């Protein structure tokens, strides 16, 4: 049964895809959201399992040393999450979000297939040469090609999938706003459940039965997930494509520079804006704000000039660039937290390899230790959604309970605590290893740093994704949702830079003349000092975040002056949309 949307202002009919955005609480919308969450779980099974085991795969099979293994993984993950901006850009402009997920999913499957084949074949693996990296020739081509395809595919999917899910709800409707917030919580929960399966079952199979079996299971579950995604096409609301956000941003910047010597009119309503009947179907009008007035010069229509692209921009177009500019300090303020996360996926996994995996009668693969924060998240997300959010709504009146920026702030504080704990645990582990290497401390000790950071990630990542989706212009929501993952990307790249810089600086001041993180033996490194360095840096970063979070004004806080608002209300009526069911 199809749904159509009729724009009462001009009688134009927009047919989305089958079940429309106004079916907020209908079975179709719920079904579409469940399908997308299912893909989030199935695709994450292999991806998170690979994140947990790849550093060991690099170290034990590809014969990279400790620093090279850590840097290879952080560079791979950084590239993957950086490529989410490509997936977001394409899904906003050239392909819809569903087709973007399917096409990039095919690339991800191809990358998983190649890495599975290399893990299976001894002829495609290097021999130990005693150097930081022993891989070369065809082995190197196969290895790096598989990582490139895997990173490109996973990045494209993760850049489009969250926005596709949130598109199923009408964010302008109060209940729809709650629906968007709930979707991001449930999406995070489904990804967490998939991650739990990955870091327990898949990791166990990979380390006990063979690396290729672990990669193959990730390939199989991702394949099933993309098949389910494709079969769910009749139930999705597919929004119309927008003009290229990159081109629109470039036009504003170029024209603002070109018109830099022009004077702005006293009344902002003298700046150029188009009638709503001429507006792109995917675009919402955005009110003028006084902030970043330098960009307003791009909306000056000079006398005798025809309003054409690259000659003048609309106020809405200018305000969209202002919105993205306001977001930049928020993105930058979360990078250090993700640098801390990178340590739990690299050095902490190596720590676990040299600890006692026996907890009671259970022998836990050391790469499965991330299951601890995932377990906390799987329990806390439903508690947060069903208990904490309704209670907070009654107190604050906010649809999400607390604001998205407050959630991010909680996550940043908890990440500081996690790094402090990590340093203390590493001192205990190293002292015991040097004292009695045959009786290492239990792997359970790592659960403290992982558990605290798991809660931090639950607050920060969901808060960021919801924040960027809600604040973004309607035609840039995939692109802006990927900003949360771009912060992850920069965090991983910064981790690589910190490892290299710390080694370069500290080798000149340590008695051994070796850096804190140098060599293959972490028992003679100073990993604890690196953790504490990140904790101190995170404290400074949190102070920086508080400044920018208080400076940022969310959509509901951004208003024009009363006179401007009256003038705007008198000249502009928003078109109303009705759902006509056939």
Q: Where are the alpha helices (DSSP H) in 384-515?
A: 389-396, 404-435, 447-471, 477-506
Q: Work out the average pLDDT over 56-64.
A: 84
Most confidently predicted of 46-60, 351-365, 417-431, 478-492: 417-431
Query: In order of start, what are the domains of the chain with their CATH numbers?
Result: 17-241+322-557 (1.20.1250.20), 245-321 (no CATH)
pLDDT, position 538? 95
Higher pLDDT, 239 or 296: 296
- CA nearest neighbour of 566 among 269, 320, 314: 269
Which residues, in sequence order, are bridge partners of residue 356?
A: 442
pLDDT, position 472? 77
pLDDT, position 170? 66
- CA nearest neighbour of 98 among 204, 233, 192, 191: 233
Q: Distance between CA atoms of 471 and 300, rounded to whole angstroms?
A: 25
Q: Distance between CA atoms of 27 and 25, rounded to whole angstroms?
A: 7
Q: Which two tokens stand for residue 412?
A: 């940043």
pLDDT, position 52? 75
463 within 8 A of 188, measured Cβ to Cβ: no
Summarised one tens digit per residue, pLDDT across range 300-332 is 988 888 888 888 988 888 988 898 888 889 989
Whether the pLDDT of residue 45 is over 80: the answer is yes
Q: Distance between CA atoms of 420 and 416, rounded to whole angstroms?
A: 6
166 within 8 A of 176, measured Cβ to Cβ: no
User: Which of 67-81, 201-215, 465-479 shows the lowest mean pLDDT across its residues?
Assistant: 465-479
Summarised one tens digit per residue, pLDDT across range 359-386 is 677 777 766 777 777 787 788 778 877 8
Q: Work out the average pLDDT over 237-260.
A: 83
User: Coil, helix or strand for 102?
Assistant: helix
Residues whose CB is less than 8 angstroms from the CB of residue 402 and which lie 6 or more positions away in sequence, other chains included: 392, 396
Position 282 confidence tier, pLDDT thresholds 50, 70, 90: low
Q: Which residue has the tokens 């899904």?
A: 91
Higher pLDDT, 33 or 555: 33
pLDDT, position 174? 55
DSSP 472: S
516 within 8 A of 534, measured Cβ to Cβ: no
How big, in percent rounded to 5, are the helix, strand and coil portions of the chain? 70, 5, 25
339 within 8 A of 491, measured Cβ to Cβ: yes
Residues whose CB is less than 8 angstroms from the CB of residue 65 and which lie 6 or more positions away in sequence, other chains included: 59, 132, 133, 519, 520
End-to-end C-alpha distance for the chain, whole angstroms = 6
- The length of the chain is 582
Whether the pLDDT of residue 38 is over 90: the answer is no
Position 117 confidence tier, pLDDT thresholds 50, 70, 90: very high
Higher pLDDT, 388 or 339: 339
Q: Work out the average pLDDT over 29-45.
A: 84
Summarised one tens digit per residue, pLDDT across range 216-232 is 999 999 999 999 988 88
Q: Work out the average pLDDT over 93-120.
A: 90
User: Which of 20-24, 266-270, 444-448 shows the lowest mean pLDDT across its residues?
Assistant: 20-24
pLDDT, position 415? 93
Calculate the alpha carbon distances from 55 to 173, 192, 371, 494 in Å. Answer: 45, 21, 17, 17
Summarised one tens digit per residue, pLDDT across range 157-167 is 988 888 888 78
| CA dihedral sign of residues 352, 61, 82, 164 | negative
User: Which of 106-115, 119-128, 231-240, 545-554 shows the lowest mean pLDDT across its residues?
Assistant: 231-240
Which strand ranges, in their side-by-side order, compose the sheet holding 3-7?
13-14, 3-7, 577-581
């Amino acid at each position: 049964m199809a749904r159509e949307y009729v724009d009462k202002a001009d009688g134009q009919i927009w047919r989305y895809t089958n079940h429309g955005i106004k079916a907020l609480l209908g079975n179709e919308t719920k079904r579409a959201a469940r399908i997308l969450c299912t893909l989030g779980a199935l695709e994450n099974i292999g991806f998170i399992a690979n994140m947990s085991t790849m550093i060991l795969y690099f170290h034990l099979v590809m014969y990279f040393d400790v620093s090279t293994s850590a840097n290879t993984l952080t560079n791979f993950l950084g590239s993957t999450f950086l490529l989410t901006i490509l997936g977001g850009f394409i899904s906003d402009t050239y392909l819809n979000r569903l087709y973007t997920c399917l096409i990039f999913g095919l690339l991800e499957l191809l990358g998983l297939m190649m890495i599975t084949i290399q893990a299976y074949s001894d002829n495609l693996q290097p021999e130990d040469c005693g150097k930081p990296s022993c891989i070369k020739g065809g082995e190197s081509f196969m290895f790096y090609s598989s990582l490139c395809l895997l990173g490109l595919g996973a990045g494209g999917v993760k850049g489009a999938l969250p926005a596709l899910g949130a598109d199923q709800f009408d964010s302008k409707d109060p209940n729809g706003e709650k629906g968007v917030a709930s979707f991001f919580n449930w999406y995070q929960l489904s990804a967490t459940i998939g991650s739990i399966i990955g870091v327990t079952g898949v990791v166990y199979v990979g380390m006990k039965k063979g690396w290729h079996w672990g990669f193959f299971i990730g390939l199989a579950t991702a394949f099933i997930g993309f098949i389910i995604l494709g079969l769910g096409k009749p139930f999705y609301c597919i929004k119309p494509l927008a003009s290229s956000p990159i081109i629109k941003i470039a036009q504003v910047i170029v024209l603002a520079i070109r018109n830099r010597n022009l004077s702005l009119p006293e009344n902002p309503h003298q700046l150029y804006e188009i009638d709503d009947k001429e507006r792109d179907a995917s675009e919402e009008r955005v009110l003028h704000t006084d902030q970043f007035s330098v960009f307003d010069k791009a909306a000056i229509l000079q006398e005798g000039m025809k309003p054409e692209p690259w000659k003048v921009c609309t106020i809405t177009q200018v305000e969209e660039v202002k919105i993205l500019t306001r977001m930049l300090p928020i993105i930058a303020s979360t990078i250090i937290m993700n640098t801390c996360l990178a340590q739990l996926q690299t050095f902490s996994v190596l720590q676990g390899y040299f600890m006692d995996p026996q907890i009671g009668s259970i022998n836990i693969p050391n790469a499965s230790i991330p299951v601890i924060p995932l377990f906390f998240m799987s329990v806390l997300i439903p508690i947060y959604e069903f208990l904490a959010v309704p209670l907070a709504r009654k107190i604050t009146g906010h649809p999400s309970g607390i604001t998205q920026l407050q959630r991010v702030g909680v996550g940043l504080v908890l990440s500081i605590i996690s790094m402090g704990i990590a340093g203390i645990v590493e001192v205990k582990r190293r002292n015991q290893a040097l004292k009695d290497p045959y009786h290492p401390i239990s792997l359970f000790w790592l659960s403290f740093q992982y558990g605290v950071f798991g809660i931090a990630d639950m607050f920060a990542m969901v808060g960021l994704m919801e924040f960027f989706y809600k604040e973004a212009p309607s035609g840039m929501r995939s692109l802006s949702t990927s900003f949360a993952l771009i912060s992850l990307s920069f965090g991983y790249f910064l981790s690589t830079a910190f490892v290299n810089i710390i080694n370069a600086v500290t080798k000149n001041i340590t008695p051994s003349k070796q850096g804190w993180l140098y060599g293959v033996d972490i028992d003679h490194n100073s990993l604890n000092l690196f953790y504490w360095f990140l904790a101190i840096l995170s404290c400074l970063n949190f102070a920086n975040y508080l400044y920018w979070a208080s400076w940022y004004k969310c959509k509901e806080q951004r208003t024009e002056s009363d006179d401007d608002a009256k003038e705007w209300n008198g000249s502009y009526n928003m078109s109303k949309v009705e759902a006509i069911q056939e």
